[in-house]
């Protein structure tokens, strides 16, 4: 099994497509069930959601507000999964319930190196 990261991007700017609090509860339940299905297959490694606030640091140490205001898609979070190959990871991504939202996407990336924290 290899490790992959699924990056979730959501349109957080278009007011007309933002879910109501009630819809958000339904969506979160669908998301949790989807992750639970991955975990039940022993393929879930971990993950987290991200706030919409942030800063971007560019060369040479220039700090700007981020995520970028002019880009509709914002990185909302990620999970790491174990998959037999890229197609298996892609299959998991295609089943992600956030894809039901206009402007949302899931990017799949293979983890090619791991930083060793042991000294």
pLDDT confidence of 53, banded at 50, 70, 90?
confident
With a cut of 80, say whether residue 21 has pLDDT above it.
Answer: yes
User: Which residues lie below 8 Å from residue 100, measured CB to CB, with a gap of 6+?
Assistant: 27
> Does the pLDDT at position 68 exceed 90?
no
The full set of domains in the chain, from first to last, is 2-110 (3.30.70.1060)
Section 93-115 average pLDDT: 91
| Residue 119, pLDDT above cutoff 70 | no
Segment 30-45 shows an average pLDDT of 98
Backbone angles phi, psi at 29, to 5 degrees: -65, -45
Is residue 95 scored above 60 in pLDDT? yes
């Amino acid at each position: 099994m290899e490790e992959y990261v699924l990056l979730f991007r959501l349109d957080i700017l278009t007011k007309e497509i933002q879910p109501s609090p009630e819809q958000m509860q339904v969506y979160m339940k669908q998301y949790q069930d989807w992750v639970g299905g991955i975990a039940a297959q022993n393929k879930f490694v971990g993950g987290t959601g991200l706030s919409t606030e942030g800063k971007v640091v560019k060369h040479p140490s220039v700090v700007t507000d981020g995520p970028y205001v002019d880009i509709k898609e914002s990185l909302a979070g990620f999970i790491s999964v174990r998959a037999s190959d890229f197609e298996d990871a892609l299959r998991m991504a295609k089943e992600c319930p956030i894809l039901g939202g206009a402007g949302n996407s899931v990017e799949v990336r293979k983890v090619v190196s791991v930083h060793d924290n042991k000294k």
